[in-house]
Amino acid sequence: MGKFYVTTPIYYVNDKPHIGHAYTTVAADIIARFNRFLGRDVFFLTGTDEHGQKIQQAAEKKGMSPKEFVDSLVPVFKDLWKLLNISYDRFIRTTDPDHVKAVQHIFMKCYENGDIYLGEYEGWYCIPCETYYTEKDLLEGKLCPACGREVTKVKEESYFFRLSKYQEKLLKLYEENPDFIAPEFRRNEVVNFVKQGLKDLSISRTSFSWGIPVPINEKHVIYVWFDALTNYLTAVGYPDDEERLNRYWPADLHLVGKDILRFHAVYWPAFLMSAGLPVPKRVFAHGWWTVNGEKMSKSKRNVINPFEVAEKFGVDQFRFFMFREVSFGLDGDFSFEKLVQRINGELANDLGNLFNRTLSMLKKYRGSKLPAPKGEFDELDAKIKRKANATVEKVIELIPKGELSKALDEIWQFVSFVNFYIDRRAPWTLRKEGRDEELDTVLYNMVESLRFITALLYPYMPNSAEKMASLLKIKKPVNEWRIKEFSSWGGMEPEAELEKGGILFPRIEYDPETGNVREAKTKKG
pLDDT tens, 3-22? 999 999 999 987 789 999 99
Residue 409 and residue 391 in contact, taking contact as beta carbons nearer than 8 Å: no
C-alpha to C-alpha distance for 164 and 197, rounded to whole angstroms: 7
Predicted pLDDT at 491: 95
Predicted pLDDT at 524: 44
C-alpha to C-alpha distance for 468 and 450, rounded to whole angstroms: 8
pLDDT band with cut points at 50, 70 and 90 for residue 525: very low
Mean predicted confidence (pLDDT) in 285-304: 84
Query: Residue 211: how many CB atoms within 10 A of its CB?
Result: 25
Same fold, 3-286 and 335-519: no
Residue of higher predicted confidence among 100 and 499: 100
The fold of 3-286 is: Rossmann fold (3.40.50)
pLDDT band with cut points at 50, 70 and 90 for residue 162: very high
Strand partners, 7: 45, 254
C-alpha to C-alpha distance for 7 and 243, rounded to whole angstroms: 20
pLDDT band with cut points at 50, 70 and 90 for residue 224: confident
Domain limits of the chain? 3-286, 335-519
Strand partners, 290: 295, 333
Query: What are the backbone dihedrals phi and psi of residue 166, each rounded to the nearest 5 degrees, phi first?
Result: -100, 10
Query: In what helix (H) or strand (E) does residue 119 lie, and over which residues does it extend?
Result: strand 116-126
What confidence tens digit (pLDDT) does each residue in 373-415 have? 999 999 999 999 999 999 999 999 999 989 999 999 999 999 9
CATH superfamily of 335-519: Isoleucyl-tRNA Synthetase; Domain 1 (1.10.730.10)
Q: Which residue type is seen at 517?
A: V
Q: Are strands 131-133 and 116-126 parallel, antiparallel or unpaired?
A: antiparallel
Residue 280 and residue 268 in contact, taking contact as beta carbons nearer than 8 Å: yes
Does residue 225 register a pLDDT over 60?
Answer: yes
